[in-house]
Amino acid sequence: MPFLDWVNKHQAKETIREVPYHLLTPESIHGADGNFSISHGSLG
């Protein structure tokens, strides 16, 4: 199995711990049946 290592790996791992984050909560449900419709789009 390959070993992944890079310059300043320790600093990168410490920096990622300082980034603020929050979990997303659903505000509304669209397409509850699993189907989504796109109208007036430029899909080709």
Measured CA to CA in angstroms, residue 38 lies from 22, 23, 31 at distances of 30, 28, 11
Taking 80 as the threshold, does the pLDDT of residue 9 lie above it?
yes
Question: Taking 70 as the threshold, does the pLDDT of residue 15 lie above it?
Answer: yes
Q: List Cβ neighbours of 12 (8 Å cut-off, separation of 6 or more).
A: 6
pLDDT surpasses 60 at 31: no
Q: How far is CA 22 from CA 25, 26, 28, 36, in A?
A: 9, 13, 18, 27
The pLDDT score that the predictor gives to residue 26 is 77
DSSP state of 32: T
Are the CB atoms for 37 and 43 separated by under 8 Å?
A: no
Tokens representing residue 19 in the block: 């980034």
On the question of pLDDT at 43 being above 60, the answer is no
Residue 21 has pLDDT above 70, yes or no: yes
